[in-house]
Amino acid sequence: MEFNNLRGALFIVIAMTMITTNDAIVKHITQVFNVGQIMFLRGALICVIFASIMLLRRQPVFDRRTLHRWNLLRGLFELGGTLAFLTGLSLLPIAVASTLGFSSPIFLALLAALVLRENVGLDRWLVILVGFGGVMLITNPFTEAASWAVIFPITCAFFVALRDIAIRYVPDNIPSSQVAFTNAWIVMLGGGVYSLFQGWGEADLSWYLWFIGLGAVLYCGYLFLIIGSRIGELSFISPFRYISIIIAIGYGYLIWGDQPSLTMLAGAIVIVLSGIILLSTEKRRNRAASLLPNATD
């Protein structure tokens, strides 16, 4: 397959811009809606979009194969990650929540060693430790100004790592669209149940119109993310996802007047570099594995 890395990277930048814009809209409407309401209403809109597209393509909206335990478990991990991230986003500056959310590659490498029993060399363990050092710089837990709410985006990163591990066990005969649709309706239902405990607040119609923007930017963001992932080499385009941190810092400053501290910026740089190094070492490992002779030969 022929890759176009520059176009792929461009699509990734556009996708992350839209996804971070979605986060900014969510943070804005938490003034009126609680986290459960947002998850339910946004999830319902995304489910309608998915179902409409599948019907237009003459694809079944519901497939019994999606009830596979690993597909459902992946959806539950998505639910946990979404709930944790949106809660953190409502309590923390958007830049802090977004940056800590990007620590998932660190948890993924750690879980790959502990759960999948993958061979993790000393170099990768050192990178993981450095990455956790970046998390500690941002959370800064030993100061009086430390916020307990940082546990939410960190928990989100952990659930995202579990979600990425779970996809390895989802059968290949389940289409990607069905996997994504399963995530959407599980998050929607989970948000609906959670909103019952939080109470259903009322708002003017103008606030509900924000959900149209939410659905549009999130769907387009995921669409561009898929396109970019298909036309570019993952090892080249993946680091461009971290553009989201810069955009989040910009939104935080322009909209809410948040000024990142030096320790927060230093922690963000450490997390980004750790993620990039983990991606590059994974590429080298895969390349080395591909050069090994087939054991069956």
Average pLDDT over residues 175-199: 89
Cα 104 from Cα 254, distance rounded (Å): 27
Q: Are residues 166 and 115 in contact, defined by beta-carbon separation less than 8 angstroms? A: no
Which amino acid, residue 1?
A: M
Q: Quick check: is 28 in a domain?
A: yes
Q: How many domains, in total, are found in the chain?
A: 1
What rounded mean pLDDT belongs to the chain?
A: 85
Could you tell me the residue range of the domain that residue 117 belongs to?
A: 5-285
In a domain? residue 295: no
Which pTM does this prediction carry? 0.84
Query: What is the rounded distance in angstroms from the CA atom of residue 8 to the CA atom of residue 226?
Result: 10
Q: How many CB atoms lie within 10 A of CB 185?
A: 18
Residue 142: pLDDT above 50?
yes
Residue 295 pLDDT: 43
290 within some domain: no
Question: Is 262 part of a structural domain of the chain?
Answer: yes
Query: How many Cβ atoms from other residues are within 10 Å of residue 177's Cβ?
Result: 15
pLDDT band at 296 (very low <50, low <70, confident <90, very high): very low
Q: What is the pLDDT of residues 207-223, one digit of tens each?
A: 999 998 888 888 888 87
Please give the single-letter amino acid code of residue 92.
Answer: L
Residue predicted with more confidence, 232 or 217: 217
22, two tokens: 């979605």
Is 296 inside any structural domain?
Answer: no
Report which of residues 145 and 199 the model is more confident about.
Answer: 199
| Residue 79 covered by a domain | yes
3-state secondary structure of 176: helix
Domain membership of residue 291 (yes or no) is: no
Rounded-to-integer distance, Cα 226 and Cα 223, Å = 5
- Within-domain flag for 297: no
* Percent with pLDDT over 90 in the chain: 35
Mean pLDDT of 82-104: 92
pLDDT tens for residues 233-268?
Answer: 766 787 888 889 999 999 999 999 998 888 889 999
pLDDT tens digits, 35-47: 999 999 999 988 8
Query: Cβ of 154: how many Cβ atoms within 10 Å?
Result: 19
